[in-house]
């Protein structure tokens, strides 16, 4: 969990926490109808959706938190009508996008960091879980 590929990059654990907090924060703001993420207090508002976590977590506990967050957000997002996702909003960089595009942006952000974590695993000689499952099916 403390592995860091280079001194200027996040550790594996920091990446996992970042994915959790960013995902919960962005999904929470989206679900609550926030429409301007350029507002000066947007990043502070995001924090109200962060789960309260202890300073240190086991990898298993962190995985549980990530799963709980995804499960909760997916249910709430699925309950929204299609018209909700067609509404326009402003992303952090000021770009006007639909809520659906913001949801996709959030997922792309997660996948970017997930691929970084998979690279960390490979650098340590560990085969990522998704690859292990795929290999097991062959």
Contact status, residue 12 vs residue 2, Cβ threshold 8 Å: yes
Contact status, residue 46 vs residue 24, Cβ threshold 8 Å: no
pLDDT in tens, 15-37: 999 999 999 999 999 999 999 99
Domain boundaries, the chain: 12-137
Residue 36, both tokens: 């301007």
pLDDT in tens, 31-84: 999 999 999 998 899 999 999 998 888 888 988 988 998 898 999 999 999 999
- Confidence (pTM): 0.86
The CATH classification number of 12-137 equals 1.20.120.450
Contact status, residue 13 vs residue 1, Cβ threshold 8 Å: yes
C-alpha angle 107/24/64, rounded to 5°? 95
pLDDT band at 107 (very low <50, low <70, confident <90, very high): very high
**pLDDT score, position 132:** 79
């Amino acid at each position: 969990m403390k592995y860091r590929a280079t001194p200027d990059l996040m550790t594996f654990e920091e990446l996992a926490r970042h994915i959790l907090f960013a995902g919960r924060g962005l999904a929470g703001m989206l679900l609550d109808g926030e429409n301007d993420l350029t507002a000066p207090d947007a990043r502070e508002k995001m924090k109200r959706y962060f789960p309260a976590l202890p300073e240190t977590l086991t990898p298993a506990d962190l995985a549980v938190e990530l799963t709980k967050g995804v499960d909760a957000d997916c249910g709430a997002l699925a309950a929204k009508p299609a018209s909700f996702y067609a509404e326009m909003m402003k992303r952090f960089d000021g770009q006007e996008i639909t809520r659906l595009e913001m949801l996709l942006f959030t997922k792309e952000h997660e996948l970017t960091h997930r691929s970084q974590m998979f690279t960390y695993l490979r650098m340590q000689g560990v085969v990522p879980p998704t690859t292990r499952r795929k290999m097991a099916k062959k």
